[in-house]
A and B are shown apart, each in its own frame.
Chain A
Amino acid sequence: EVVLTQSPGILSLSPGDSATLSCRTSQSVEFNHLAWYRQRPGQAPRILIYGASYRATGIPDRFTGRGAGTDFTLTISRLEPEDFAVYYCQQYGLSPYIFGGGTRVEI
């Protein structure tokens, strides 16, 4: 099964900064079926990006997904207070639909 490795584990930044999160997969992701989620404390994850680069409904253009094959990034520009959370990537091309271990973006 595919293994998703997210880095860094923790990113310490300030509001207004930009963040770049990485997700590397052990095998090429079919059709770039790679999604990103944000999870705030006490809440369920929320989808941000699907298809590696398509913003989900209601997601602002501060969030940009890029990548293909085995190397993907999520860039968040102009960090806002609600962006300090944990971010997960997920491959959904082939079962099992594995999640990465997460990157915590903290103040």
Chain B
Amino acid sequence: DVQLVASGGGLVQPGSDLRLSCTASGFRFIGSAFHWVRQTPGKGLEWLARIRSKANSYATAYAASVKGRFTISRDDSSQKTFLQMTGLEADDTGVYYCTRGYNGLDNNMFDFWGQGILVSVSS
């Protein structure tokens, strides 16, 4: 079965850094693009970042709201994707999802999603 299991969230102070991880299983990891999406009461669903497959040079893309602060990466050998977040602000508070390209392919619509992990930024 396809699974995406996220970890690394929690309560942090403004200005802190946090690294989210997402471990995948049950499908061909190397062929898929991976994305991070967050959900907040104020902004709804917000796409944050994408990393493509090795065949597409691991190309990355970011939303303007996180560009320069967040970095997406992946480790195909351990079937993990990561979101390194720096300089966290209160507006970054929300539920963070890792998700894969549809059918485990290198695309930008999402079928399987992780369980959602809460990130709270507060002093």
Contacts and interface: CB of A to CB of B under 8 A. Distances in A.
Interface string A37-54: 100000011010010000
A44 B100 CA distance: 13
Given A44-B116, A47-B102, A99 B110 contact: no
B61 A92 contact: no
A44 B109 contact: no
B114 interface: yes
A44 B61 contact: no
B47 A99 contact: yes
Interface string B44-86: 1111001000000000011110000000000000000000000
Give the bracket for the number of chain B residues in contact with chain A.
20 to 34
B1 interface: no
Contacts of A45: 45, 110, 113
A44 B113 contact: yes
Contacts of B114: 44
B111 A44 contact: no
A7 B64 CA distance: 25
Contacts of A47: 102, 109-111
B108 A102 contact: no
Contacts of B35: 97
Given A44-B116, A47-B111, A96 B102 contact: no
22 contacts: A35-B110, A37-B45, A37-B110, A44-B99, A44-B113, A44-B116, A47-B102, A47-B110, A95-B50, A95-B61, A96-B47, A96-B61, A96-B63, A97-B35, A97-B47, A97-B50, A98-B47, A99-B45, A99-B46, A99-B47, A101-B44, A102-B44
